Amino acid sequence: MGWYTDEVVPRFINVALGSKRFVPMRQRVTAGLEGDVVEIGFGSGLNVPYYPPAVRSVKAIDPSAVGKQLARDRVASALVPIEYVGLDGAHLPLPDASADHVLSTWTLCTIPDVDDALAEVRRVLRPGGSLHFLEHGRSPDAKVARTQDRLTPINRRLAGGCHMNRPIRDLLDGSGLEVTTIENYYVKGPKAVGYMYEGVAEKR
């Protein structure tokens, strides 16, 4: 990773995804978390204020040193212990069946080996555990999807590897997890970057 990706992108994401309009979405996706949680793509800790009281511990996965700096105050003020344990969602340094839930917000678009990451999520989840996800990805509107395909190579360079055209539901269906709830919608703004996948997928 270069200077731009290491230093600029985490700060941009902290501001862009830290606005008030995303608060209700973060509250919904974190609802129901309890016990031992793994958060992949922890970033600057924007989900920390919304962890439910039933969460016992959080293992944080993120490659960004700047993200860790930006998260410092949120981690320090958290009501739950947060431990950084890894850098890559595709290689979780955790035992099998060691997590009650995994949380992923705007992360599956960026992980290079997304199928491997979802396999790791399934591996570390306990039976009956679930992945809570809030992601943007491929639109079902053919015109929007064509725009996403056209812009994704540029967006990957500008936004730290983000693919705006990943078919999140298809990836989840192919992961061995069972999608139990999902909502799809556009957020306000350009449709190419704003088609959302929000829900829960369980390990049966």
The tens digit of pLDDT for each residue in 92-146 reads: 999 999 999 999 999 999 999 999 999 999 999 999 999 999 999 999 999 999 9
The band of 1, judged by pLDDT with boundaries at 50, 70 and 90, is: low
CB 96 within 8 A of CB 124: yes
pLDDT of 170 > 60? The answer is yes
Q: How far apart are CA 49 and CA 61, in angstroms?
A: 17
Please compute the mean of the pLDDT values over residues 174-192 and round it to a whole number: 97
Q: Domains, the chain, ranges and CATH? A: 3-202 (3.40.50.150)
pLDDT of 178 > 60? The answer is yes
pLDDT for the residue 132? 98
pLDDT of 154 > 60? The answer is yes
Please compute the mean of the pLDDT values over residues 172-188 and round it to a whole number: 98
CB 122 within 8 A of CB 171: no
Please compute the mean of the pLDDT values over residues 153-174 and round it to a whole number: 96
| Interval 13-24: pLDDT, tens | 999 999 999 999
Element housing 37 (H / E) = strand 35-40
Closest C-alpha to 57, from 88, 24, 101, 116: 101
pLDDT for the residue 2? 83
Please compute the mean of the pLDDT values over residues 153-176 and round it to a whole number: 96
CB 85 within 8 A of CB 94: yes
The structure's pTM equals 0.96
Please compute the mean of the pLDDT values over residues 159-176 and round it to a whole number: 97
Q: How far apart are CA 185 and CA 187, in angstroms?
A: 7
| Interval 48-76: pLDDT, tens | 999 999 999 999 999 999 999 999 999 99
Q: What percent of the chain has pLDDT over 90?
A: 98
